[in-house]
Amino acid sequence: MALTPQVSPATQHVPAMVVAQPFAPTIRRLAAALIDLALLWFVTELLAAFYEEEFIALGRGGRFIGALFFLAYIGGQNSTFTNGRTFGKRICGLRAVTLKGEALTLERSIARAALVLIPFMTQGIFAFPVDRLSALALHVSLALASVGYGAILVASYIFSGRGGQAIHDRLMGTVVVLQEENILDPLKPSPQYVWRRAAALVWLTLCGAVAGAQWWWWGGSRWNDIVAFRSPLLALEGVQRADIFMGSFYFRNSAGGREHTKYLEVRVFFHHKLEDFERESARIATVLFDSANPTAFDAIRITVGYEFDLLLARRRWQQSWVRTPSAWRDFLLARESQSQAQHNFRLSHKALPR
């Protein structure tokens, strides 16, 4: 009888344990994401502390620097360089892999991170092209990217359940699993239910409709006037961006009746620090009254300031004033008289005998 060779337990091959559901729990995924965002926020805040004036000069252009940090960290750490584990995923015991259980390539990981970046990059951005239809299309697109897609992204994290896939995972064919599990067989995430797709479609349609109505309410019906108000403001020295909004609202007066009020809102931000905000508001008001006719409005709000925006680290310094057109004219006349009096005082002081 042939003898079967015995293999010692020390040299036996023990297959890796495979579990039925190695997908990451929702709470741990959210915790890992918050840890990574907090780390990126700390790094960009530290950078801004040393280069604040340089980032103020960039304004919202600094978002691209923040985006590079985001893509380098999230995209690099989720790839083969660290076996799909960012700092947050390491703490929470997770890693990102393909549906075959393999680590992500750098290109695939960066593309996956870019899908997360979209709502951050488009948040609070307003476009002012000359063409009205282009302006409407851009406003709706930005709203869909920031609010519409952003809400779907957050919801996909929260309601991913045991599927291990948020919306960017489904689009890129990736999944987040428990770090300690060795994946030998292809992963089969939970199917995308029809009602979820329908809910996402309804939500995006609602966001698009609201964004279009908002654009019309904020001055889309008078787009040529908005462009006319904005152009001379952009020509002012030191101005980085200028946002113009128009609208109207009803309120009850002291007699209990309803009154219709039209307002003009002007937001101007500079690429340098301001020492006298009120002086800059006077300069903006002067340009408005000299280049256009804002007297058709019942109230004019002017906001001046400066900011830096590194995507996650943001800071803004601003001041606002709301006056009627006649009050703005009185304000400008008073400043002009004050300036003339100071000029005459300096001339008389120079004329005095030494």
Instruction: Quick: pLDDT tens for 181-223.
Output: 666 556 666 666 788 889 999 999 999 999 999 999 888 988 9
79 secondary structure, DSSP code = B
Grade residue 343 by pLDDT with cuts at 50, 70 and 90. low
Least confident of 37-51, 165-179, 239-253: 239-253
Q: 221-343 — its CATH code?
A: 3.30.70.2960
190 secondary structure, DSSP code = P
Q: How far is CA 73 from the centre of its chain?
A: 18
* pLDDT for position 7: 43
Give the whole-angstrom CA distance, residue 347 versus residue 308.
41
Give the whole-angstrom CA distance, residue 113 versus residue 152.
16
* pLDDT for position 182: 63
Are 91 and 35 contacting, i.e. CB atoms less than 8 angstroms apart?
yes
* pLDDT for position 249: 73
Are 255 and 218 contacting, i.e. CB atoms less than 8 angstroms apart?
no
Residues in the chain: 354
Backbone dihedral region for residue 12 (phi beyond 0: left; psi -120 to 50: alpha; all else: beta): beta
CA angle, residues 334, 337, 340, in degrees to nearest 5: 150
Give the whole-angstrom CA distance, residue 51 versus residue 39.
19
Grade residue 354 by pLDDT with cuts at 50, 70 and 90. low
3-class DSSP assignment, residue 158:
helix
Give Cα separations from 156 to 101, 152, 192, 295, 305 (angstroms).
21, 6, 11, 49, 37
pLDDT digits (tens, 9 = 90+) for 257-289: 677 788 999 999 999 999 999 999 999 999 999
- What tokens does 81 get? 């360089």
* pLDDT for position 25: 87
- What tokens does 56 get? 């103020």
pLDDT digits (tens, 9 = 90+) for 290-332: 988 788 899 999 999 999 999 999 999 999 999 999 999 999 9
Q: Where does the chain hold its CATH 3.30.70.2960 domain(s)?
A: 221-343
User: Higher confidence at residue 25 or residue 10?
Assistant: 25
Strands 258-270 and 299-309 turn out to be: parallel
Q: How many angstroms separate the most distant Cα atoms in the chain?
A: 131
- Is pLDDT of 83 > 80? yes
**H helix runs in the chain, sequence order:** 26-50, 52-58, 63-70, 76-77, 87-92, 106-122, 132-143, 149-158, 167-172, 194-217, 223-234, 277-291, 325-351
Sign of the four-CA dihedral 226, 232, 235, 239: negative
* pLDDT for position 24: 85
Half-sphere exposure at residue 283, Cβ-oriented, CA atoms within 13 angstroms: 19
* pLDDT for position 257: 67
* pLDDT for position 196: 82
State which of 25-34, 140-149, 168-177, 241-250 shows the largest mean pLDDT: 140-149
- What tokens does 141 get? 């697109």
* pLDDT for position 183: 62
- Is pLDDT of 251 > 50? yes
Grade residue 33 by pLDDT with cuts at 50, 70 and 90. very high
Strands 314-323 and 299-309 turn out to be: antiparallel
Are 96 and 75 contacting, i.e. CB atoms less than 8 angstroms apart?
no
- What tokens does 181 get? 């599990």
